Chain A
């Protein structure tokens, strides 16, 4: 009897040990991560695999990932990769090619929007990631103000054009000027046409990119020579400076997107050039005073394309389980649930799904936004370039450096890095 009990106990223990596979994932603390977390019990019930998500803030992610990825056996089985890091991670050989698994399991990667598959999916013909969510940038604006007949009449009287969703940069800048107001007559603006996120580093680099594209500028030509120190680049800086000085809140040159979105969320601004994923936050009555009043439009000239992809590091201890998870979380049924909750989809069909559009009417606009988005230069030293660009832009915007000089310095840094990465001869 004793032996029987022992055997039974042992086999039970072994059985549990065999089943207790856990997939460890490092993720950023954003709404889409929460939507993924919400679905984990279902995955566990289906496969018996536990998923442990470590959600941290963006600023800590890169420095936490690199040591794990470069060691022979890391502690993360699956990771999410920001588009910034794609070239760096793939060039260092840290990510596992997924093509064989995709072929073996008949995973259809044609469902993804091509712009996102290029950004956070395929590199030089090899699939390293499945696009997870997009954060392409656009203009979040107050639709109630645009629809207000009084505002429409006043706008028409002042500029001779209709007040509507802006399709050109000039039209948008006119709206920004129009809505910048001193409502209590104390001589200071208290309702802002736009809010900038001008903090040195990636905050200003990302937002300013939209100003650059809108003015017809590009970062580099096909030989990877910097071209953004052009008249378009200078005009983009001038527009950015004017928006901070004349149409925005004090201190916007030190805001990142959280401070800026608070100003918009408190109902103190007409618009905000930013990441599309922030829109869902404005429909939460707990943190927003503009519930039901915010909508999103594509940036004229295209906004900055951004996104994250699921990947399996070569240092992953549980590659099979990680793949099972990625396959499931990107399955049609699961991504639809996430989109219904407010997630930012990457698969094209979700933007046209009637059920989703019924719940999220902004979907067709989002599709245009992602489809017209422009790619930020992604190469091995993107992170370093963003830092240099962010510093120079901030110097120019705070009046410490002439716009042309600042752009020339950033362009020279870009060229050096492009040479270092072997892209420019």
Chain B
């Protein structure tokens, strides 16, 4: 009944393939198929009115993207939005995670409260905040008025609207950062801290020389995932501002949506999506390699 020792790895490998095959198949169906379909569509003059793949236009759809007047603005808004939400959520998230990591009692209660926003559907988040931020009838301006502040024109002022959306996104998504970072902190080994304390390191020193280096892989993954999600933000914009006032919150995902469902031009919408995918892929690849270099 014994299996020759040298055959074990190959058997293991085969068993591994057999176990992962169904998952891989499902993934390729739901991920790869739509992906290739989008790439395929981007090469055709394919609109919702003319749903036939009979006019192959090579790279015309890609060329026509750049003639879109407001694409540059939309890309700029998206970049600023992603940098703002990822950085701010990381700073807040890491601070809260460090605090929670030190807490001994009522941890579950804090968890529950923190996770609450994350459980709410983004459309509902948008609607709730639209009501809260109503300049005349909303509770936020009412509270500010009690403090003799405001009223703030949250979503109608060009200079304010972008940051309002960033703030609502932080409210909604920051718990995601907290949870991931907290899991990372909880799994850190105790020994380096004890060694640091023996060497007379202060709390600040322990943070910069022990916690931060050990946490680096977790931080990179967290930032990466959050960044990818942030690029895809759609619901909040759709419900709260429709890209306005003017074009100040016009994120790329809403831009693509408009090309597809208002402009009816699926070919062009697919082309913009493919370009966006390449950008995100390049960023992800870079961050992934950076992470590997740390390990």
List residues of A whose CB falls within 8 A of some B CB.
59, 62-63, 66, 70, 88, 91-92, 188, 198-201, 203, 249-255, 259, 262-263, 266, 268, 380-381, 383-384, 386-387, 390-391, 394-395, 398-401, 409
Q: Which residue of A lies closest to B161 (CB)?
A: A254
Q: Is B194 an interface residue (CB 8 A)?
A: no
Known: A380-B49, A398-B158, A400-B158. A200 touches B263 (CB 8 A): no
From the candidates B70, B135, B243, B246, name the one contacting A400 in the complex (CB within 8 A). Answer: B246
From the candidates A66, A251, A390, A394, name the one contacting B48 in the complex (CB within 8 A). Answer: A66
- Tell me whether B135 and A395 are in contact (CB under 8 A): no
- Tell me whether A254 and B155 are in contact (CB under 8 A): yes
Using a Cβ cutoff of 8 Å, how many contacts connect chains A and B?
101
Q: Is B284 an interface residue (CB 8 A)?
A: no
- Tell me whether B155 and A251 are in contact (CB under 8 A): yes
From the candidates B135, B156, B158, B243, name the one contacting A391 in the complex (CB within 8 A). Answer: B243
Q: Is B153 an interface residue (CB 8 A)?
A: yes
- Tell me whether A250 and B156 are in contact (CB under 8 A): yes
- Tell me whether B247 and A254 are in contact (CB under 8 A): no
List residues of B whose CB falls within 8 A of some A CB.
48-49, 51, 69-70, 130, 134-137, 151, 153-158, 161, 238, 241-247, 258, 261-264
Give chain B residues whose Cβ lies under 8 Å from the Cβ of A88: 49, 264
- Tell me whether B137 and A387 are in contact (CB under 8 A): no
From the candidates B48, B158, B258, name the one contacting A387 in the complex (CB within 8 A). Answer: B258
Give chain B residues whose Cβ lies under 8 Å from the Cβ of A268: 136
- Tell me whether B136 and A92 are in contact (CB under 8 A): no
Chain A to chain B contacts (Cβ below 8 Å), 10 pairs = A188-B151, A203-B242, A251-B156, A253-B156, A253-B245, A254-B161, A259-B134, A262-B134, A266-B137, A395-B245
Give chain A residues whose Cβ lies under 8 Å from the Cβ of B135: 249-251
From the candidates A252, A254, A383, A409, name the one contacting B262 in the complex (CB within 8 A). Answer: A383
Closest 7 CB pairs of A and B: A200-B244, A251-B135, A254-B156, A254-B155, A251-B156, A250-B135, A253-B156
Give chain B residues whose Cβ lies under 8 Å from the Cβ of A259: 130, 134
- Tell me whether A199 and B242 are in contact (CB under 8 A): yes
Give chain A residues whose Cβ lies under 8 Å from the Cβ of B137: 262-263, 266
Give chain B residues whose Cβ lies under 8 Å from the Cβ of A188: 151
Bound-state CA distance A230–B49 (Å) is 32
Bound-state CA distance A394–B248 (Å) is 11
Bound-state CA distance A110–B156 (Å) is 45
Give chain A residues whose Cβ lies under 8 Å from the Cβ of B51: 70
From the candidates A249, A386, A400, A409, name the one contacting B136 in the complex (CB within 8 A). Answer: A249
Give chain A residues whose Cβ lies under 8 Å from the Cβ of B154: 251, 254
From the candidates B153, B246, B264, name the one contacting A200 in the complex (CB within 8 A). Answer: B246
Shortest C-beta distance, A314 to chain B (Å), equals 14
Q: Which of B69, B70, B245 has the most CB of A within 10 A?
A: B245
Bound-state CA distance A386–B262 (Å) is 9
Give chain A residues whose Cβ lies under 8 Å from the Cβ of B155: 251, 254
- Tell me whether A201 and B244 are in contact (CB under 8 A): yes
Bound-state CA distance A399–B158 (Å) is 9
Known: A62-B261, A259-B134. A391 touches B161 (CB 8 A): no
